[in-house]
Chains A and B, each alone.
Chain A
Amino acid sequence: MSTLLTCDSLSMRFGGLVALNQLSLAVSAGEILGLIGPNGSGKTTFFNVITGIYQASEGRVDYLGHDLARMRAQDIYRAGVTRTFQRSRLCLPLSIFDNLMIGNHRRLNHSLWFNLVRRSAFRAQFEEQYAQALALVRTFSQSLAERLFEAAGSVNMIDRRRIEICRALISQPTLLLLDEPSAGMTHEETRELMDDILIVREHMPGLAIIIIEHEMNVIERITERCIVLNYGQKICEGPYAQVAADRQVQEAYLGTE
């Protein structure tokens, strides 16, 4: 498969703290890459840097000819990179459907004329998007799909995670970044969630996923390759079995569990 994303000596410093240290890695189209490492090792920071939330201190992130390290967050999204947040960031007073449409921003028409005056065209777009949102949420949960016009704050934590993942998927991105999607879920719920993500992925050929996860059996089951971070540095890379057997990784991370 062709290369989708290449990071070249990417660093992120907060004052004296080096959160990412000369990180280089590559992701192929269609791949699922696991990103693991102890708390504070820079995993979330890596996501924040490539989605434009933080400005990298140095280095390049090549993505389909763009340098993400020099782009604004909103342009990175338009180029097809979406994410979930480690700590849920839904707009709780808004409906579930509203939250999904926030994620669908790049596929909606935002002109004043279209929204205020051409209401029948607006209706057509609304109905089309509603059908797609419904189909997507159904893959994850039928009961959630029936509640699309209730406030996102009215559903439980697990459903909120599902909504957040749907929000990141609905615009049909090319690269999806999942930051601990299963936090707070039981093993069974986690397994279900991962299966659902894999089902959706079948309809999106070429979608690459980078997943941060502390649950090692998730990593083992769904990733083809993992990268281990420690103090912002890459200490190991390869299929899970190989990484898990690495002595350095065991000392830094796995051994502590």
Chain B
Amino acid sequence: MAGVTVFAVLFLHAESQEEVMGLTLGAAAALLLLARFGWNALAAVSFAGHSRTGQAAVLIGVLIIAAVFYDQHFPLLMLASVLLYIVVCLGLNLQFGYAGVLNFAGAAFFGVGCYTAAVLTSHTSLPHLAVVLIGGLMAAGIGSLLILPVLRTHGHYAALVTIAFSILFRVFLEVNDTLGGPQGMKVQGMEILGWKLNDSLAFGEIEISFYANYVVLALVMAAVAFMLVRRLERSWIGLNLDAVRLDETACAAFGIDVARWKITAFTLGNFLTGLAGSVYAMMTGFVAPNSFTFGDSLILVSIVILGGLGNPWGLSVAAAIVLMLPEKLQFIQEYRLLLYAALVILILLFRPGGLMPRQVRSYLPGWKP
């Protein structure tokens, strides 16, 4: 854990392309070595076993990273974004990793959250906590318009429906003048119960970037979403979702209502995505249709696949890698879609379980038969 934290700090700190490249290769080599000696699986097991201490260590790690960069905007913005994207990917993981509902409109549902925040903060004086909640509900609600086709059509056709929606959403934003058209909209900074997240804090000489506020908020959101998804997985509901993904006929023969659980996973996943979107919009202060393309949705799906379907830890690591690498390595920017596509294909070929494959379910942490 300590090693990972130090690495993250170094990585965010690195300026030159050479440094970043070196660090990346170093990390990749270290991972390969670990994998070679089977420590990969060991790490996954130890995570599962000591989830309390593991979780605490991760929280502290993130806070340390934030503390190191307390006065710099960019690394903190990066960190908060990664945390919010983890919330989104946790939602996608509920849908795809567990229930097997492939959603290629992740970025669109994120966008629904963003635009909800933009509209509500500029036209109403609703408390921002309510705005975030409504952002989640809007995404879940618009998602439920898609649920009928998603349920009625099987397998890949359901995925096509979400692709269509994703494209439609962007076109809708671009031609809609009340939502700012292609130029997008400005969004107010967030304020929760008097806590203005866009004000930077100052303690005497030391001035802390206002993004630190968002890091704290995003960290809380990610932690809560993480706990929610973990608990769900370790329950009869998690089992139902897995069964729905694996064998619908067997489900029917044993009373598992396939539609009910697909709807539950889809709605809950979109809700999380919408929540994260509305906070993200208030953090960046600006929304535009360009940020919610089909390509962005693909990246989200690739994060979930890379991390290991159904593995919240795996996808958190994958989210960090996939989001930070192109920011740091500019030459990747242009080719990032290509790169992820290649990576996903490689992973699916050689490690279908993802970087950190999921273990069999343990219902109670630390429970032994």
Which residues of chain B come closer than 8 Å to A142, judged between CB atoms?
none
Q: Are A74 and B360 in contact (CB under 8 A)?
A: no
**What 1/0 flags go to B10-52 for Cβ under 8 Å of A?**
0000000000000000000000000000000000000000000
**What 1/0 flags go to A141-181 for Cβ under 8 Å of B?**
00000001111000000000000000100010000000000
Q: Are A77 and B361 in contact (CB under 8 A)?
A: no
Distance, CA A3 to CA B307, complexed state (A): 55
Given contacts A116-B231, A149-B360, contact A51 B253 (CB under 8 A): yes
Which residues of chain B come closer than 8 Å to A95, judged between CB atoms?
360-361
Query: B254: CB under 8 A from chain A?
Result: yes
Distance, CA A74 to CA B320, complexed state (A): 42
CB distance from A82 to the nearest CB of B (A): 7
Q: Are A91 and B250 in contact (CB under 8 A)?
A: yes
Given contacts A102-B243, A108-B236, contact A89 B249 (CB under 8 A): yes
**What 1/0 flags go to A46-82 for Cβ under 8 Å of B?**
0000011100000000000000000011110110001
Q: Are A77 and B255 in contact (CB under 8 A)?
A: yes
- Nearest residue (CB) in A for B235 is A115
Distance, CA A92 to CA B246, complexed state (A): 9
Q: Are B252 and A73 in contact (CB under 8 A)?
A: yes
Distance, CA A150 to CA B359, complexed state (A): 10
Query: B175: CB under 8 A from chain A?
Result: no
- B235's partner among A103, A116, A171 (CB-CB below 8 A) is A116
Query: B177: CB under 8 A from chain A?
Result: no
Q: Are A115 and B237 in contact (CB under 8 A)?
A: yes
Q: Are A101 and B239 in contact (CB under 8 A)?
A: yes
Query: B256: CB under 8 A from chain A?
Result: yes
Q: Restricting to A72-126, which residues have a CB under 8 Å from any CB of B?
A: 72-75, 77-78, 82-83, 85, 89-95, 98, 101-103, 105-106, 108-110, 112, 115-116, 119, 122-123, 126
- A98's partner among B228, B231, B360, B369 (CB-CB below 8 A) is B360
Query: B69: CB under 8 A from chain A?
Result: no
Distance, CA A78 to CA B253, complexed state (A): 9
Which residues of chain A come closer than 8 Å to B126, judged between CB atoms?
none
Q: Are B247 and A101 in contact (CB under 8 A)?
A: no
- A74's partner among B252, B362, B364 (CB-CB below 8 A) is B252
Q: Are B232 and A115 in contact (CB under 8 A)?
A: yes
Which residues of chain A come closer than 8 Å to B247, judged between CB atoms?
89, 91
Which residues of chain B come closer than 8 Å to A253, judged between CB atoms?
none
Candidate in B228, B243, B361, B363 with the most chain A CB atoms within 10 angstroms: B363
- B361's partner among A72, A85, A98 (CB-CB below 8 A) is A98
Distance, CA A44 to CA B246, complexed state (A): 22
Which residues of chain A come closer than 8 Å to B242, judged between CB atoms?
91, 93-94, 98
Query: B240: CB under 8 A from chain A?
Result: yes
Which residues of chain A come closer than 8 Å to B246, judged between CB atoms?
91-94
Q: Are B254 and A77 in contact (CB under 8 A)?
A: yes
CB distance from B134 to the nearest CB of A (A): 21
> Can you show 30 pairs from A to B with CB atoms below 8 A apart?
A53-B249, A73-B252, A73-B253, A74-B255, A74-B256, A74-B257, A75-B255, A82-B253, A85-B250, A90-B250, A91-B242, A91-B243, A91-B250, A94-B360, A95-B360, A95-B361, A102-B243, A102-B250, A102-B256, A103-B254, A105-B255, A115-B232, A116-B235, A122-B363, A126-B364, A134-B369, A148-B369, A149-B360, A151-B360, A167-B254
Q: Beyond the given A98-B239, A116-B235, could you list 18 further A-B residue pairs with CB under 8 A, ordered by the A residue number?
A: A51-B253, A72-B252, A89-B249, A93-B242, A93-B246, A94-B239, A94-B242, A94-B246, A98-B361, A102-B239, A102-B251, A105-B254, A105-B255, A110-B236, A112-B264, A116-B228, A122-B363, A148-B369
Q: Closest 3 A-B residue pairs measured CB to CB?
A: A115-B235, A73-B252, A77-B255
